[in-house]
Amino acid sequence: MTKQTPNSYKPGVDRLEDMNKQALVAWLEAELRGQMHILAGKEEDYPVQAIVNHHPYLSIATQRRVGDALESLVLDWRKDLSAWPEASVRALLSLVAELGVEGAKRKLLPLVSDRRVWGQIAVLQPAVLRALATLSLNEDRMFWSQLPQQYPEFAGMAFQVLTRIAADDALQLLSRIPDNGIAVGSVARTLPDFLSQFSPERTIAILNQLAGAIAKLSSESAANLKQALEDSGYSISLPPCPSKEKEDFCKTMNSFAKKARSTNRLPLEFAHAF
Amino acid sequence: MSFTTAKANLVNSKQQALDSLIVAWTSSGAVAKQAAANLQNERGIEIDKLERYLGELAERAPQLCVATPRAEFEQVGKPFRLAGHAATPWKGVIFGRAMLLEKYARYVSPELDKLCYTDTAEIIRATLRKLDGMDEAAAPPYLRGYLQAIRQTSLGKGAVFAIFAKPAKTGLRPWRAPIPNADAIRSSIALGEDDEGKDYILFAYCLPPGVFPRVPTTASPGWFYQQWFRPNDCAATDLHGWTEPLTPGFDRQPEIVHEEISGTTVVFPIHIATA
């Protein structure tokens, strides 16, 4: 059953219903830039929450026009990346994601594939990927599976998206998660909920696979993942960790070398030989 | 009557302009009607400040006599939204704020980005839920960045409304177990512009040194929240406002306003009120 439009939303809904696409583009841009607020809400609701609140009460045709207007604004921003304040872009990206503006996906993807442009929006990279993540469907699994090769710092986010759109691809990505705190932390925050969707038998098989993947990580990363699983009631037994042995060996050798002469350092090739 | 006294101190032309404004608002929509009533019942501010506020409103009366005078009203009100009586007796209490979880997830994400916690929006919301009831010391390493990001994120914008438990006791939180559900939160603190059926994140916090609570004035809630705001008749002696629950069956809560602050002084754990 469709909810009745709350009385206090009616004036705002009526105003938006009367706007054509061009008027919506002008209004949305002014909202996003903080120059105008016409919808009911308090200061902290502007611009995104007030629009998200009113959106379900718009007619389908107006919702479509709002989506088209947001797509136009994404294009405007893309054409001149420096012309929009960071907060306005974040609000725009939140809106396209939360209102499910699927067309925006095609307009955002070129930003990721062009390294030069991607570098220009360093501070907004997570926000762009977050919007793409929300809009992604199963057909986008290749993009997310390949993203960690290009940008390892977003491997954890890629895993998070894949758990939703392509579980098998997420499992494959687990075995090549880069050993850095960012990626491992993202996986740790997602893994227990991801596992909870599988049958007990499948969960055991996945945990075994996971144990192998975890064993390749540094002791700190492995401990992080193990704790996340144990905190959610999963038990995982890790095989002896070669990297841990290597870490211990390196520490011992360093300590020995420094005792012999304080300026000594363990040669890298020696460590690799181990 | 504060309003009558303050109005009487204005020059005739301003008194007439103010009267016309009140008449226009009273015969207008629900928000304007309530704004007129709130203004006439104002008790939270010293007479001389109220006189200045009314004088400003009178001067801009033509621009305020439109269907939605939000921008103009909030512009005029800006210097007065934190100009209520000093709510000094409550300076040391633990205050409470409720924000829609989806809104807060958006708020906190730039801070998470700075800490390289690059999670999807879905996972940010899910992780905030996992912090429900979790003591800071108990947070595992993979969640600690979230607590840090919460401390760096603003607890609200503009004149920030907060509730507290009365009678006040050291360490007493505004919400205690069992934590009310989202409907009870929305209703008891009159978050009338939040759509129903959504979860809230609840913060308990102290005011940092140098930040003082104030009695809310008619200028504090901005335009649209006039509909949900009621001045406290006894504001001058209570030194706080009262929320006006949206539906019967919920207790009103004592409330104050303060300037924007970050979450540095949040008293963990946070709680989630589910719909």
- DSSP per residue, B23-71: HHHHTS-HHHHHHHHHHHT--SS-HHHHHHHHHHHHHTHHHHSSS--HH
The stretch B254-269 carries a mean pLDDT of: 98
Average pLDDT over residues A255-272: 59
Q: Among A42, A123, A130, select the one facing B121 at the smallest CB separation.
A: A130
Confidence (pTM): 0.91
Distance CA B173, CA B93 (A): 8
Structure confidence at residue B170 as a pLDDT band (50, 70, 90): confident
Q: What is the mean pLDDT of chain A?
A: 90
For residues B246-260, give the mean pLDDT: 96
Average pLDDT of span B155-178: 94
Confidence of residue A240 (pLDDT cuts 50, 70, 90): low
Q: ipTM value of the model?
A: 0.94
Q: What is the pLDDT of residues A131-187, one digit of tens each?
A: 999 999 999 999 999 999 999 999 999 999 999 999 999 999 998 889 988 899 999
Residue A245: pLDDT band with limits 50, 70, 90: low
Per the structure block, which two tokens stand in for B239? Answer: 């030194």
Best probe of the B interface among A36, A39, A42, by most B CBs < 10 A, is: A42
Coil/strand/helix, residue B241: strand
pLDDT, average across residues B220-244? 97
A157 → closest Cβ in B120, B192, B196: B120
Q: Which of B146, B148, B156, B152 is nearest to B124 (CA)?
A: B146
Summarize the confidence of residues A76-97 as an average pLDDT.
97
Residues of chain A numbered 170-199 and touching chain B (CB < 8 Å):
181-182, 184-186, 188-190, 193
**Residue A273's pLDDT band (boundaries 50, 70, 90)?**
very low
Q: How confident is the model at residue B218 (pLDDT cuts 50, 70, 90)?
A: very high
Q: What is the pLDDT of residue A272?
A: 44
From chain B, pick out residues whose CB is under 8 angstroms from the CB of A188: 142
pLDDT in the model for residue B241: 98
Residue A2 — very low, low, confident or very high, per pLDDT cuts 50/70/90? low
